[in-house]
Structures are given as structure tokens and as C-alpha cells.
């Protein structure tokens, strides 16, 4: 099973999109895919009948998260392009300056929401990876661990993209609110990663 090199080529190119925000969303989607795989390798096996119902629910949710995070790959690039468009608006007259400044602020707020959603969704993937590490087939225990590691890195990577957008915003109330949310997500993600890695290493 090969994969499409053109996305990787696009990342490496001198175009700023797709960049770190899109890459973080893609890695979150990969983590969700690994979580789904552990479910698929467990559900329906006689030995795991007791957990099949629960893992079927997990699978439904991890597949939704995988699709959503895959869409956020493109959303992030589009939101960045909107910011660039706002920066290119004319800035001769005071009126033009005001319109431009307002549009930059609005576009940057929009560009903050995408990586924030990546953080929220990737945190949920991390929670699901803990369930599959506990209850999935032990044959796939390393896959559950990789799912957790990748979900954590999607949270951290997306957070850097939230932060760089916040750094150019004027609306301090907005900035404070988002930053508080991010701190909560990051500390929960760090705790979960530590827990899942301990569990995975004890089962290997």
C-alpha cells in the first residue's frame, strides 16, 4: 500500500501552504486511523466478544474523527490563504487602513479556529487510543501506542499554529480565552500520553 507523494512534495515546497497546521491535522487523522485499525483487528474475534460492542462504538467515533481531521488539513491551508489575502489589501487612505486592519484581525481569528479544532479532535483521538490500548488485541498494542504518540504531536503541533496566530491579534479577551482552552487541552494530552505509554510498555 503506497501513498501519494504529492502532498509531501507540497509541504516541502517554497509555498507556505500546506505547512505545519495542515501537517498537524494529517498526523491527527493518521492517529485516528491507527485507533480504528486496532478496533477492526479486535471486533468479532471470539476472545474479545466482551469488548466488541464498546470497540464498535469507539470505531464509529474514531472514523468520524479521522474524516474530520482529514478535512481540516485543507481547511488550515485555506484559512492561512485568507489571512494572506487580507494582508494584500490596499493601505493608502485611513479608511483603507482601517478596513485592512479589521479584515486581517477577522481572518486571523478564523485561522486560529482551525488548529484549535485540530487540538480538540486530536485530544479525543488520544482518549480513544487509551481505550484501545486497554481493551484491544495485544497483538496491536504498539499500534495503539503509536496512535497516542501521534495524537499528542497533533495537539502540540496545532498549538504552535494557534499561538502564532494569537501573537498578531489585538483582541485581548479573545486571545486570553483561546489560550486558557489550549492550556487545558495540552495538560490533559500530556497526562494521557504518559498513561498510555506506561500501559503500552507494560504490555509489550
- Contacting residue, 51, 77, 104, 128, with a copy of itself by CB under 8 A: 77
For residue 47, what is the DSSP state?
A: G
Per rule CB under 8 A, is residue 41 in the interface with a copy of itself? yes
- Contacting residue, 36, 108, 112, 130, with a copy of itself by CB under 8 A: 36
| Binding range to a copy of itself, per CB under 8 A, among 90-98, 106-114, 135-143, 178-186 | 135-143
- Closer CB to a copy of itself, residue 99 or residue 179? 179
Per rule CB under 8 A, is residue 48 in the interface with a copy of itself? no
Per rule CB under 8 A, is residue 7 in the interface with a copy of itself? yes
- Contacting residue, 121, 125, 157, 182, with a copy of itself by CB under 8 A: 157
Amino acid at each position: 500500500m503506497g501513498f501519494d507523494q504529492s502532498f509531501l512534495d507540497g509541504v516541502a515546497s517554497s509555498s507556505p501552504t500546506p505547512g505545519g497546521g495542515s501537517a498537524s491535522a494529517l498526523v491527527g487523522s493518521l492517529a485516528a486511523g491507527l485507533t480504528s485499525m486496532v478496533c477492526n483487528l479486535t471486533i468479532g474475534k471470539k476472545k474479545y466478544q466482551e469488548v466488541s460492542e464498546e470497540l464498535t462504538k469507539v470505531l464509529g467515533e474514531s472514523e468520524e474523527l479521522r474524516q474530520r481531521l482529514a478535512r481540516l488539513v485543507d481547511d488550515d491551508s485555506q484559512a492561512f490563504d485568507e489571512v494572506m489575502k487580507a494582508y494584500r489589501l490596499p493601505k493608502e487612505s485611513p479608511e483603507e487602513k482601517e478596513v485592512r486592519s479589521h479584515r486581517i484581525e477577522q481572518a486571523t481569528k478564523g485561522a486560529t479556529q482551525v488548529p484549535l479544532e485540530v487540538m480538540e479532535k486530536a485530544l479525543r483521538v488520544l482518549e480513544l487510543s487509551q481505550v484501545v490500548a486497554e481493551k484491544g488485541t495485544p497483538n496491536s498494542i504498539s499500534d495503539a501506542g503509536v496512535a497516542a504518540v501521534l495524537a499528542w504531536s497533533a495537539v502540540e503541533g496545532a498549538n504552535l499554529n494557534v499561538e502564532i496566530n494569537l501573537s498578531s491579534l489585538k483582541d485581548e479577551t479573545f486571545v486570553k480565552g483561546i489560550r486558557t482552552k489550549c492550556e487545558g487541552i495540552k495538560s490533559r494530552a500530556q497526562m494521557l500520553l504518559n498513561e498510555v505509554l506506561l500501559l503500552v510498555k507494560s504490555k509489550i
